[in-house]
Amino acid sequence: MTEKLVVIGNGMASGRALEHLFESAPGRYQVTVFSAEPRVNYNRILLSPVLSGEKTFDEIVTHPEAWYDQHEVTLVRGQTITTIDRTRKIVETADGVVAPYDKLLIATGSSPIMIPVPGKDLPGVIAYRDLDDVDRMLAAAEKGGRAVVIGGGLLGLEAAAGLKMRGMDVTVIHLAATLMERQLDPAAGYLLEQEMRRRGIDVVTRANTKAIHGDGHVQALELEDGTRIDCDLVVMAVGIRPHAALAKSAGLDVNRGVVVDDRMLTSDPDILAVGECVEHRGQCYGLVAPLYEMAKVVAATLSNAEAEYTGSVTSTKLKVTGVDLFSAGDFAEAKDREEIVFRDAARGVYKRIVLKDNKILGAVLYGETSDGGYFFDLLRQEADVAADRDTLIFGRSFAGGAPLDPTAAVAALPDSAEICGCNGVCKGAIVEAIGAKGVTDLDGVRAHTKASASCGSCTGLVEQVLALTLGDAFEAKAVTPMCTCTDLSHADVRRLIVVRRLKSIPALMQELEWKSSCGCARCRPALNYYMIATWPDEAADDYRSRFVNERVHANIQKDGTYSVVPRMWGGVTTAAELRAIADVADKFAIPTVKVTGGQRIDLLGVRKEDLPAVWADLNDAGMVSGHAYAKGVRTVKTCVGTDWCRFGTQDSTGLGVKLEKAMWGSWTPAKVKMAVSGCPRNCAEATCKDFGVICTDAGYELHFAGAAGLDIKGTEVLCRVKTEQEAIDHGIALLQLYREQGFYLERIYKWAKRVGMDEIRRRIAEDETGRTALVERFLHSQKLFQTDPWAERVAGHDAHEFAPLVTIPAMEAAE
C-alpha cells in the first residue's frame, strides 16, 4: 500500500532526498511538497551568477515542472506550513490547506540573521537568501546608486560582486580584520580584499554597524565610529540560523536546529529532517555538500535501508568569476602543528597546508586552486603524506616526488573521493554511470550524476575520470577559439560580455586581451552582434564591423555589382510597389529583375555608386530593405490560405505578414527564414524553415529547426496552439531565445541541436512565464532597432561611405 510522504520545504536538500528516494523506492510514497516560494526547485548556490548576470533563473532550475509530473509529486506553492499535528498526523498551512502524512520530512532551511540596529526595517534593507532577494537587488541596481553589503563572508562578497557587475557602487562592511575569516587565513583574506578593491568594491574591515538611516527608504548607514555612508540599498549577509520554530511548536527536540540522529530521524520516529534546519551531533551546516550527504541517508531511512550520517568535513569555494579560492578543514595556528607555505606575489598565488602527525588538517589556496579536491580528499581520508612532504604543496602532479599525468593522479583516488562539491558526486558514482548507463562524454555525466552541472569548476576532474575509465574511447571536447585573435570560444565571449559589461569593441579587445589590434573578419562581426544583442539600450552598433553586404544593404555579385531586394511583407505586393520597382530598374539601367524563392523581387546588377540613390527612390515609395543579405529575418513565405484557396483553413497570408512585421530588422546570429502554410498540404514549405506554421482546422502547428541549404533537414514540432496571437508569441520567443544563446553564424537547427530540442520546447512551449519574458525582451529590442537604418543612411550620402572595412574576400571566407 502506498504511503503518504509530506515534505515541508522545496529546497536543495529535500529535492536531492526525493531524487534518491525515487531511485531506491519508486512508487512507494505518494509525495506532497509544500513550498513557501511560488516556484519550482532551484539551485540556491547559483543565485550569485543570476545576480551578476552570468546565468538566468531558468539555467539554475533543478527540478522543472516535468520532474514533478514524472514522479507524480504534488507541489503546493506559496503555502507556508504553520501547524504539525503529530497526534492526527496532519500538517496545515496558514490558508487552511490540510495534508495527512504517514511520514513527514522537515526541510525548512534557515533564516537570514538581521542585525538588530535602528532602521533595519526600512525599505531598501534586505537579506540575501532566495530568488526574491535577488529580484529585489536587481530592481535596486536598475536605479543605480550605492549599495552597502554588511558581511564579508561568502554570501556578502558574492552579493557585492554581483551588484558591482550590475552597475552599482558597492561598499562591504565587515566586523573582522580580514574577509572570510572563517574560511581563510589572514594572508588569503588580505589577497581577497585587494582583489575586491581592484574590482572597484570598497572594503571597510573592523567596522560595526550602529544604525541605518532614511526617511521612508534607506538613505545612509552609520558605523560605530561615526562614519556615515550614503546608500540606496543595504544587504545584510551576516549569517543564518536554522529555521526550527515549526518543529519546536510541534514538540520536537530542538536546540539550535531540529535535533536528528544518525538516520536523520527526529524525536518522533515518523518525522525526519534534512538540510540547514538540522542539528546533528551538536553541529549545524550551511554548505551544500553536507546537505546532500544527509539527503542520501534520508532516502535510505524512508526506504528501510541501512545508512548513517556521521557528520561532514566541509570545503569552501567563492562563486565570483575570476576569483579562485579554496579552503577546507582546520587551519588555525597551534604549537603542535606545522605548515607548508608557497607564495608567488607576481601571480597573486598563495598556498598553505596545515599538518599534524603527517596528516593534513587544513588547506587554504588562493589564486591557484586546481589541487583543492586532491588536498580535500587527503584530509578526509586522513592519509599519511610523509612520503610526499617535500613536494606536497605542488599538488597531485608531484605526488610521490615525480610528476604524474592527471589521469594517473585521478586513478589513485578512491571511489569515495568527491569530484563535484556542488552536487556531492564522488568518483565512484561517475564511474558507475559510465559503466551502467553507457555514458561517453561530459554531457552524459552531467545528465546522470549532475557532476559539473552547477559551477563547472570540477569539469577537468570529470573529464579525467572519463579518460581514465574509457581510455582511448574518450575524446575531450577541445575549446574552439573564435579565431586566431583569441583563445576564447564564442560561449566564453558571450559570457564575459555579460559579466564584464563590455559594450564596445575597443573595450572588449582590451579587457579580453585580444591578440590583434583591431580583430579580423571572423571575430569583429560576431563581437558587434553579441554586444548589441546583449546591451540593446547601451551598446552602439559598429556598422563598420559588419560584412559589406549588411553595410550597403545589398548582396555582392560575382562581377562586383550588387543585387537589391525590397521587402514584400509575406510575399504580398501592390501595383504601386511594382511600378516603383519598374521605375528604379529603368532609371538605373538594372539589367535583371527576378522573382526570388522567398516571394520577392530582386534587382540584379546595381552599380555600387548607384546604391544610395536606388534605396532613396525605393524608400520614397514606402519600401524598405528585404534584408536578403542579413543575419536576421529574411522572408516569411506564405500561401494564399483562406483568402483564395478552397483547402485553406486559416488566414496564412495575414499571419505571415504579421510575423514578418513583428520580427523584421532584428539582428540574429545567422539568417532566419520562415513560412506559413494555410493547410497541411504545405504549399509554403513550412517544414524546412527555421520557423514554420502549418494551419489546421483546430489552429496552428508550430515547427522549428529545419534546413534546406547545404544541409537538408525537416523541422521539429514545437507545439500546437489555438490562436494566431499564440503562434506569433511563440515565434517571437523562439527568435529571442536564439538571439540570446546562438553563436554567430550558427543557424537555428545547429543551435537547437547544441542546446537540445527538449530544452527549447521547455523554455518556449511549457514555461509560460519564461516565454512572456522572452517576448518582452524582444519587443523592447525592437523598439530600439526596428527601423531600416541603412535606408536612412544611404539617402544623401556619397558612395565612398560604403567602402567595406570587412573586405569581400574575407567576408566570403567567413561565410
DSSP 8-class letter at 2: P
Distance of CA 679 to the CA centre of its chain: 39
User: Known binder of ligand: residue 426?
Assistant: no
What 3-state class would DSSP assign to 606? strand
Q: Which residues is 111 bridged to in the sheet?
A: 241
Q: What is the longest distance spanned by two Cα atoms in the chain?
A: 96
DSSP string, 777-807: HHHHHHHHH-S-HHHHHHTT--GGGG--SB-
Q: Is 485 annotated as a binding residue?
A: no
Element (H, E) at 370: none
CA atoms within 13 A on the CB side of 195: 24
Segments in 535-574 forming alpha helices (H): 548-552
- Grid coordinates representing 781? 529590442
d(CA 447, CA 444): 5
Is 679 annotated among the ligand-binding residues? yes
- Other beta carbons less than 10 A from residue 170's beta carbon: 26
683 belongs to an annotated ligand binding site: yes
Q: How far apart are CA 442 and CA 444, in angstroms?
A: 5
Q: What DSSP string describes 693-762?
A: EEEETTEEEEEE--EESSSEEPPEEEEEESSHHHHHHHHHHHHHHHHHHPPTT--HHHHHHHH-HHHHHI
DSSP conformational letter for 647: T
Find, among 267, 315, 565, the residue nearest to 418 by Cα: 315
Please state the φ and ψ torsions of residue 301, each to the nearest 5 degrees: -65, -45
Q: Measuring CA to CA, how many Å separate 482 from each of 58, 541, 740, 745, 802?
A: 26, 20, 17, 11, 26
- Could you list the residues known to form a binding site for [4Fe-4S] cluster, using ranges: 639, 645, 679, 683
- Could you list the residues known to form a binding site for siroheme, using ranges: 683
- Could you list the residues known to form a binding site, using ranges: 639, 645, 679, 683
